[in-house]
Structure 1
Amino acid sequence: MGEPVTPSLDSRRAADILTMHRLAGKADSVQALVRWLARRTGCWVGLVDPAGGVQAQSPRECDSDGMTLVADGLRVMRERGLRTFVGGESPGRSAALLAVGIPGDQSGSVPSGPVLAVVGPEPLATAAPADAGPLLGVCWRAQETERARRRVEIADARGREAVLHLLMSGNLTTAHQIASVLAPRLYDPARFHVIECGPGRRAETIRICTELTGGRAWIVGCPVYSDHVLMVAPATPLPAGARPLEAALTAEIEGCVVGTGDALALRDTATGYEQAFHALAVARGRPERWTRFDAALGLPVIVGRHGLTWADHLLVPLAGHVPTRATDPGSRTLTDTLRSWLVFSSAATRHMKIHRNTLASRLRCVEALLGLNLELVGDQAKLDLALRIAELPRVTDHGPGTVEPAPPAPAGDDFETLLRMPAVQEWALTQLRPVHEDAPALEATLRTWLRNDTRLRTTAQVLGVSVTGARKRLIRLEQVLQRSLLRVPNARHDLWLAIEILDHGRPDRNT
């Protein structure tokens, strides 16, 4: 038999280069190359910036003496304008530093980008570190470009989210100003769409939504639900024979579900979102996977000026709150937090970008100011109604540009008076008619759920069923009422008010 063939130096180098090119194709190519070099050389390998900060390194950390060698080498390279340097404290330990060539770098001889550092007994025993330099430069530039792209995407997404926040809080002027920079402009009137697309599919969904709307819709990844995309699209009439946007979305995005609100003015964006969310709960149970909100006049509009006195009186302590310390939240901050919490419950932390302790502290402050218990759905419902009434445009009889005088202090039973209004009674009947007519057996579940402040486990115990059984009944109620119940924003406030109106606010129709 012949002697075994020993690979030549050139063939080993060629194999190393092929291995490095394969590693350069990985997502974490810089780290993969550095780790391979450490195994190939038997040394510590790191990618350091000109100031000595380690950007990537082999799993085994370099000791302080080794890092001193690297720092001294970097200093010499700066002072002498070198792109390579080899030095050591003893024959058995040295450091080799090689400036990594970054594509497009015009800095000259002095390295301005990362430097490959190899510390060990024989850092340059192989050509691998020198051969890795150009590849590391390309990989480094690619990763830096990707980081920059991600930063731009994040900044754009946060800007769009900020515009949506402004729209939902009624700050239209600022929203239009920011939207004019980010594009597209905001159209008025508009329809709110909530697209439930599944986890990990938001980028694809946003791209398809942009294509289907011709880039004319304001599209945002939902800050509360990671599988939702929010879209404010122009409410333009459809050409003859054209399919609705919702149908196009469900056809193009596999498995998605779409809920759509009414065509509303931009100042009513918050209402449009809640409508679309309720429609989404209904769409989940329909084969076409989309539906539009079943429009019904809102209670704040029905009570109108009759409710302004009660609402203003309830909210006076909050509206007039002045914090004792500059760092404490003021009236506007407390009101915005309260609105977010009434809509999103504990998920308001994600919506407002605040810590849960901050949310709890602000809510305790609101409770102390208003004398309400925010754990009770009844107090939540009254407060939600008062805030929605207060947001209505105030029409005066004093001509344009005049301010409506403050209403007089109401009588103690003003809320009960609102409940007895015939129009309010009709609204309550409309809200609960689907239960009365189509699912009377579920009314006990609805009442129990509300009476126990929408706590699912307690509701199940009172009904004598499992939590899963109670959840299934509420899912059935969502389809009957065409409103969201299990996920916020849900219809708990309107439903509590409707039951309260019918139970305790019977009008005297003979008067």
Structure 2
Amino acid sequence: MPTSPMLDDLLRRLRSGVSQDAPPQPQRVADRLLQETGADIALINADGEAEVATSGITGGVLAALEPVLTQLLGGQVAAAATQAGGMHVRCELLRRDAPRTVLVVAAGSPLTREAITLASHTGTVIDTLRRVHHADTVADRYRYAAGRLRVGLFMALMAGDVTLARRMTVGAVPPLLDAERVRVHLLYCPPSERDSIAATYQDGPGDRGRSLIVRCPVYEPHLICLVPDDDGGDRDGSGLGAVLRSLVRHDPRYALGISEPQPLQATAEGYEQARHALAAARHTTGRTAPYHGHAPLAGLLPRAQAGAWSRAVLAPLDTLPRFTVDVTRLALTFPRLGVARLLGISRNTVTAHLRRAEDAIGADLHDIHVRADLALAMAVSGLPAVGGGPDGPPQGALDALLATEEADAWARAFLKPVEDRADPHLRSTLRAWVGAGGDAQRAARGLAVSRTTVRSRMRTAERLLNRDLLALGPGTHDLVHALRIADRAP
């Protein structure tokens, strides 16, 4: 019987099995031995179960071999020859160290020396392929767990809970969590390349790196990167921020938005800034844009009066479960499908929670004016409280809050890039788009232009205002308030 072709085939399968180009296929190796020699083969694991077996080794054969297999798996003997089910059987211990595996070879007639040798080689190859597959599985599980941990750390920082983020780590605290300030870099890239970029540039295993790279659970093309603001590598071109800018510079499919430096507990604000900057970056020549915005409106309102108004607006939500409120808060930032992905629930479940919130506040959360007001109330509620304010807001309290000199200055600064453009079509499109609830088709009908024209003008506005508008998130809320203030200004 010629053995060289079979051995060559075993080596080829071993090479392909340990490469990343093809998954291990131990069953095919076993079937090939049966084809070449007429001998059946099985690989028995430490639990006495057949992980790989050809058709001739049935449950009855293995049951008859149980005493022999017990001795082999117990390390009492290294090999044994016997008969079972009318077959000549040879059993061989492939590994003496735990977890042990046993090779079973069976044929209708006594096995030749060549067949035994070839079967032994085959068993070794199968065991190697099995262990490679197991190692790959463990590595995949580790990568998945590390990725989930990074998402968990990011979400804790998004909630402003640095202490929770530190508690989530194991052993020494990651250097990132000792940084005083960080910049959020938001990379736009093809989804098919996102994993390889993260794997290549994550500068430490699991959560141990100086920076943090997170695959955005909401938007597939987004890669979220937290980089310490004092990262010396950015100055010499070796830091993650410099690497990301280089990627964008050399690939026209990429874009990058960069936040202002933020303390760790303000990661959420940094993320929103990076989102707005990314919206602008995608419509600029260099495709990289730092955030150039203004102080949030919530922080400019009279604190005591704004706090009273916020408490009154949010009071109906106090009767709802905390999770419903959390879903509502997220739905003001992300689309409903994105909230479902972020929380690991169905879109229908998200909708059910939002209906509870709508019933409580007596308003439709599809209305961008309602969303803008609710988002502002939540932003105000997150500010440090001050005393001396009224117990409840007077009628029309929000209008009064937005009529202040500070709010007027904020709105003027917000809209200035559009006003400086001196493009009446752009200004009218912004108002029509807000009036249509962010529906480009409805806005187009009102303006007697195409939907494509409306979206093109909105992308221009995104670049000028440094805001993400088409996603109907925080950028849209700012636009709603700015137009509301501007339209009522004397």
- Give the TM-score band, short-chain normalised: 0.7 to 0.9
In structure 2, C-alpha distance between the alignment counterparts of 1:171 and 1:160, rounded to whole Å: 14
1:189 and 2:181 aligned: yes
1:241 deviation in Å? 7.5
Letter in 1 for 2:427: E
Q: What is the CA deviation profile of residues 80-117 of structure 1, one whole-angstrom value per residue up to 9, with x for unaligned ones?
A: 4366677654x5xx696866735xx613xxxx455667
Q: What is the CA deviation profile of residues 394-437 of structure 1, one whole-angstrom value per residue up to 9, with x for unaligned ones?
A: 2458xxxxxxxx95122231122122222212222222222222
Distance 1:361 1:422, change over 3 A: same
Aligned residue runs from structure 1 range 386-465, under 5 A = 386-396=377-387, 407-438=390-421, 439-465=423-449
Distance 1:143 1:84, change over 3 A: farther
- In the other structure, the counterpart of 2:76 is none
- In the other structure, the counterpart of 2:213 is 219
Report how many aligned residue pairs link the two structures. Answer: 466
- In the other structure, the counterpart of 1:4 is none
In structure 1, C-alpha distance between the alignment counterparts of 2:246 and 2:108, rounded to whole Å: 63
Distance 1:371 1:56, change over 3 A: farther
Q: What is the CA deviation profile of residues 251-282 of structure 1, one whole-angstrom value per residue up to 9, with x for unaligned ones?
A: 25642422111122222211110001111111
In structure 2, C-alpha distance between the alignment counterparts of 1:411 and 1:97, rounded to whole Å: 91
Distance 1:30 1:485, change over 3 A: closer
Is the 1:73–1:97 Cα contact (8 Å) retained in structure 2?
no
Aligned residue runs from structure 1 range 6-155, under 5 A = 8-27=1-20, 31-42=24-35, 49-51=45-47, 55=51, 67-69=58-60, 71-72=62-63, 75-81=66-72, 89=85, 101=94, 106-107=97-98, 112-113=99-100, 126=115, 128-155=118-145
1:12 deviation in Å? 4.4
1:365 and 2:356 aligned: yes
1:486 and 2:470 aligned: yes
Q: CA RMSD in A?
A: 3.6
Is the 2:310–2:381 Cα contact (8 Å) retained in structure 1?
yes
In structure 2, C-alpha distance between the alignment counterparts of 1:241 and 1:14, rounded to whole Å: 55
Distance 1:88 1:387, change over 3 A: same
1:480 deviation in Å? 2.1
Identity of aligned residues (%): 27
1:297 deviation in Å? 1.2
* Unmatched runs of 5 consecutive residues or more in structure 2: 74-78
Distance 1:95 1:392, change over 3 A: farther
**Counterpart selection for 1:496 from 471, 480, 487:** 480
- In the other structure, the counterpart of 1:5 is none
In structure 1, C-alpha distance between the alignment counterparts of 2:165 and 2:181, rounded to whole Å: 15
* Unmatched runs of 5 consecutive residues or more in structure 1: 1-7, 322-329, 398-405
Q: What is the CA deviation profile of residues 13-54 of structure 1, one whole-angstrom value per residue up to 9, with x for unaligned ones?
A: 444444444443444867423224325525887766455666
In structure 1, C-alpha distance between the alignment counterparts of 2:232 and 2:169, rounded to whole Å: 25
Distance 1:246 1:31, change over 3 A: closer
In structure 2, C-alpha distance between the alignment counterparts of 1:249 and 1:228, rounded to whole Å: 13
In structure 2, C-alpha distance between the alignment counterparts of 1:496 and 1:79, rounded to whole Å: 75
Letter in 2 for 1:372: A
In structure 1, C-alpha distance between the alignment counterparts of 2:390 and 2:413, rounded to whole Å: 30
Letter in 1 for 2:271: Y
Is the 1:168–1:269 Cα contact (8 Å) retained in structure 2?
yes
Is the 2:65–2:84 Cα contact (8 Å) retained in structure 1?
no
Letter in 2 for 1:32: Q
1:349 and 2:340 aligned: yes
- In the other structure, the counterpart of 1:204 is 197
- In the other structure, the counterpart of 1:230 is 224
With structure 2 as the length reference, what TM-score do the two structures score?
0.82
1:387 deviation in Å? 0.6
With structure 1 as the length reference, what TM-score do the two structures score?
0.79
1:285 partner SS: coil
Could you tell which deviates more after superposition, 234-243 or 334-343? 234-243
In structure 2, C-alpha distance between the alignment counterparts of 1:84 and 1:143, rounded to whole Å: 28
